[in-house]
Amino acid sequence: MTEISALLQEDRRFPPSERWRTTANITDPGIYDRALADPEGFWDRFARELEWIAPWDAVLEWNPPHARWFVGGKLNVSANCLDRHVRTARRNKAAIVWEGEPGDRRTLTYWDLFREVSAFANVLKSLGVKRGERVALYLPLVPELAVAMLACARIGAVHSVVFGGFSAESLRDRINDAQAVLLVTADGGYRRGQVVPLKQTADEALAGAPSIKNVIVVQRHAGAPIPVDITEGRDHWYHRLMQHAGSSCEPEAMDAEDMLYILYTSGTTGKPKGIVHTTGGYLVGTYATTKWVFDLKEDDVYWCTADIGWVTGHSYVVYGPLANGATVLMYEGAPDWPHKDRFWEMIDRHGVTVFYTAPTAIRAFMRWGTEWPAKRRLDTLRLLGSVGEPINPEAWIWYHLNIGRERCPIVDTWWQTETGMIMITPLPGVTSTKPGSATRAFPGVAAEIRNAKGERIETGGGLLALTKPWPAMLRGIYGDPDRYLTQYWSRWTDGAYFTGDGARRDEDGFFWLLGRVDDVLNVAGHRLGTMEVESALVDHPTVAEAAVVGRSHEIKGQAVAAFVTLKEGFKPSDALAEALKEHVVRKIGAIARPDQILFSADLPKTRSGKIMRRLLRDIAEGKALGDTSTLADPAVVARLKTQYEEKEG
Tell me which residues touch ligand WT7 (CB under 6 A): 265, 311-312, 387-390, 412-417, 438, 499-501, 513, 515-516, 522, 527
Least distance to ligand WT7 from the beta carbon of 501, Å?
Answer: 5
Choice between 442 and 563, CB closer to ligand WT7? 442
Q: How far apart are CA 337 and CA 289, in angstroms?
A: 32
Q: How far apart are CA 580 and CA 205, in angstroms?
A: 21
Least distance to ligand WT7 from the beta carbon of 474, Å?
Answer: 10
Least distance to ligand WT7 from the beta carbon of 173, Å?
Answer: 17
Which DSSP string do the residues of 132-186 spell out, in sequence order? T-EEEEE--SSHHHHHHHHHHHHHTPEEEE--TTB-HHHHHHHHHHHT-SEEEEE
Q: How far apart are CA 74 and CA 95, in angstroms?
A: 25
Choice between 235 and 389, CB closer to ligand WT7? 389
Choice between 122 and 305, CB closer to ligand WT7? 305
Least distance to ligand WT7 from the beta carbon of 400, Å?
Answer: 16
Choice between 271 and 376, CB closer to ligand WT7? 271
DSSP 510: -
- Please answer whether residues 279 and 258 qualify as being in contact, where contact means their C-beta atoms are separated by less than 8 angstroms: yes
* CA 544, chain centre distance (Å): 33
Least distance to ligand WT7 from the beta carbon of 121, Å?
Answer: 28
CA nearest neighbour of 330 among 317, 341, 320, 319: 317
Choice between 151 and 521, CB closer to ligand WT7? 521
Least distance to ligand WT7 from the beta carbon of 317, Å?
Answer: 12
Choice between 357 and 522, CB closer to ligand WT7? 522
Q: What is the spatial order of strands in the sheet that 94-99 belongs to?
A: 105-109, 94-99, 327-331, 301-304, 354-357, 383-387, 410-413
Q: How deeply is 345 buried, as exposed, middle or buried, from its count of CB atoms within 10 A (0-12, 13-18, 19+)?
A: middle
Choice between 483 and 516, CB closer to ligand WT7? 516
Least distance to ligand WT7 from the beta carbon of 312, Å?
Answer: 5
Least distance to ligand WT7 from the beta carbon of 416, Å?
Answer: 4
Q: What are phi and psi of 358, to 5 degrees?
A: -115, 150
Q: How far apart are CA 578 and CA 542, in angstroms?
A: 13
Q: How far apart are CA 246 and CA 248, in angstroms?
A: 6
DSSP 83: I
Choice between 502 and 634, CB closer to ligand WT7? 502
- Please answer whether residues 379 and 407 qualify as being in contact, where contact means their C-beta atoms are separated by less than 8 angstroms: no
Choice between 59 and 421, CB closer to ligand WT7? 421
3-class SS letters over 31-76 = HHHHHHHCHHHHHHHHHCCCCCCECCCEEEEEECCEEEEEECCEEC
The set of residues, in sequence order, having a beta carbon less than 8 Å from that of 104 and lying 6+ positions away, is: 221
Least distance to ligand WT7 from the beta carbon of 549, Å?
Answer: 16
Burial 506-517 (b: 16+ CB within 10 A, else e): eeeebbbbebbe
Least distance to ligand WT7 from the beta carbon of 306, Å?
Answer: 7
Choice between 215 and 441, CB closer to ligand WT7? 441
